[in-house]
Amino acid sequence: MRGSEQIFDRIEREERIDPVAGRVSAFWTSALRSEKLRDVLSGRQLGHPLHPAAVLVPAGTLLSATLLDVTGSAELRPAARRLIGLGLLSAPAAALAGWSDWLDTAGAERRVGLVHAASNIVGLASYAVSWRQRRRGGSGLAASLAGATALGVGGWLGGHLAYALGVGVDTTAFQHGPTDWTDVLAASEVTTELRQVEIDGVPVLLTRLDGRVVAISDRCTHRGAPLHEGERTDGCVRCPWHGSQFDLASGEVVRSPATRPQPVYEVRETAGRVELRRSEVRSLRANPVGPSAGRELRPARGGDHAAVTTAEPRASQPV
């Protein structure tokens, strides 16, 4: 195992972090109890998490200040101090978005998230010290370098959270689905209840809305919960894990923390049978990890792709 993997592995397994995480979670659950605030912090309006975009300003300005310190002349010191001031002022919004995302994590990702946050807090504190030293006529260089190092560690762990542990990633990004009409089940078997079927291993949620059959991915785009175990509210389904709501007809996110819409299937009823297919642009792209990479999906053959399953109870933890 490489050195970096050993560090990730150690943090992910470190159960001594959990009591601290519990107290921090209680604090932020109370501080961020406004649903409207959580909605804005989630990034739902952007279509992806806000936190990675919001860190751009503090990370960019603070690291630029350190670069000016290291590579620039003494006349650039005032500019570096202003950059640090701007970075410190913009950091709270980015941090709040991060804490909001962190509240929906569990287990290994929660531990890594807490260490990520701690590194960034150390980084910001170091830059605050550097700013103060500059104001008093000092160079603030050592504190600036310490801040850059701590923010670097925080960014490295943030990358692990997103790219290795999948926090913030649309869990249906690599999900297949038939692009040709595929027989699923008898139309009489679809009611207004939430029903899961599996098509070529892909879970799909079926129900009736105003009399017609609608179908969206059954895997929540936020953290992968089985939506058919959620609640139906008017024309929406409420996720059983973190309460995101999705429009059953369009798949659009009506309520965060999810930021990505559910993949939608076209549905038709033919001779008492339900058939469906996916047709959005993203379902047609070459999938880098699936069996269809670089070739066409196999054609439908009279409905023998689809298998109706009875959903087993699943763990109610994010995956």
Of the listed pieces 36-44, 217-225, 295-303, 305-313, which binds ligand FES according to CB under 6 A? Answer: 217-225
47, 260 contact by CB (below 8 A)? yes
Using the structure block, give the residue that is written with the tokens 């785009």.
221
End-to-end CA distance of the chain, in Å? 23
**264-293: which residues touch ligand FES (CB under 6 A)?**
none
102, 113 contact by CB (below 8 A)? yes
Q: How far is the CB of 223 from ligand FES (least distance, A)?
A: 4
**15-44: which residues touch ligand FES (CB under 6 A)?**
none
Q: What angle (nearest 5°) sits at the alpha carbon of residue 221, between those of residues 216 and 223?
A: 135
Q: 183 pairs with which residues across the strands?
A: 275
- CB closer to ligand FES out of 119 and 262: 262
Work out which of 242, 277, 278, 305 binds ligand FES, going by CB under 6 A: 242
- CB closer to ligand FES out of 106 and 300: 106
Angle of the 77-102 helix axis to the 17-31 helix axis, nearest 10: 90
Of the listed pieces 30-38, 149-157, 237-245, 309-317, which binds ligand FES according to CB under 6 A? Answer: 237-245
User: Across 187-244, where does the E strand assignment appear?
Assistant: 195-199, 202-209, 212-217, 231-233, 236-238
Is 222 a binding residue for ligand FES by CB under 6 A? The answer is yes
- CB closer to ligand FES out of 296 and 312: 312
- CB closer to ligand FES out of 115 and 258: 258
Q: Which residues bind ligand FES (CB under 6 A)?
A: 104, 220, 222-225, 239, 241-242, 244, 257-258, 318
